[in-house]
Amino acid sequence: MAKCALHPGRPPAAAILGKDYCRQCQLGILEARGWVHKHVQPKDCFVWYEGNDSWLPIDGTGCAHWVAHQMNIRAGGKGEQCLAGLTFRVKTLVSGRPRCSSPSLVRVNYIWASPAMDHVGIVVKVADPPKPGDPPKITIRHDSSAQGRVADNDFATYFKGRGIFFR
């Protein structure tokens, strides 16, 4: 017999993202979804259980969460995954991935992380440099809290040419 994924003593009221939840969880999840910040994508799964029948949006900017959904990265344990099972921490997202040693070796779909590993995105375009010998022109797509949307930005200008690329 089905039970709430978090409260085995309670009957399920709804299936949400593949799991059964009781009435209290269902209402908590629905309410928390409404509080997720406007730039976060996707929104429906960016909520977590905080105990005592309380559901809230996951803390942080959601940058790693967006990358995880684009690349189907499910690393980490329960406290590191959204309701859909995708990673939402930068360090967990890139953990174990080999680093790219030079911007000239960067390819589309590599993950970019800021030098402090506090922001992350995906390489969506690598164009030849205007002058031979210069680094390629790299475009990063990222869930941008500062711009309020998923945005494409130039690595050299917006990100000041700094950061780490992961394969």
Partner 1 sequence: MAILVACAYCACSPAAPSATHANTVAVYLDGAERQSETDLQRREIQRALHDMLEKSPAELRQVRYADYSGEVGRWSVTELLRHYFVPRAGVALDERRFFEEFREPAARAVIQRQLDAVNRTLQ
Binding residues for partner 1 (CB under 8 A): 37, 39, 48-54, 56, 58-64, 77-79, 88-91, 114-116, 118-119, 142, 144-148
CB of 99 to partner 1, least distance (A): 19
Terminal Cα-to-Cα distance of the chain (whole angstroms): 43
> Between 25 and 100, whose beta carbon lies closer to partner 1?
25
Can you give the C-alpha Rg of the chain in angstroms? 19
For the record, the structure tokens of 130 come out as: 């205007």
Rounded distance, CA 4 to CA 102, Å? 49
Antiparallel, parallel or unpaired: β 55-57 and 111-113: unpaired
Antiparallel, parallel or unpaired: β 137-144 and 120-127: antiparallel
CB of 82 to partner 1, least distance (A): 11
What DSSP state is assigned to residue 99? B
> Between 17 and 105, whose beta carbon lies closer to partner 1?
17
Query: Of 53, 33, 52, 51, which Cα lies nearest the Cα of 43?
Result: 33
> Between 37 and 107, whose beta carbon lies closer to partner 1?
37
CB of 145 to partner 1, least distance (A): 4
CB of 147 to partner 1, least distance (A): 8
Rounded distance, CA 120 to CA 142, Å? 7
CB of 131 to partner 1, least distance (A): 28
> Between 58 and 100, whose beta carbon lies closer to partner 1?
58
> Between 60 and 136, whose beta carbon lies closer to partner 1?
60
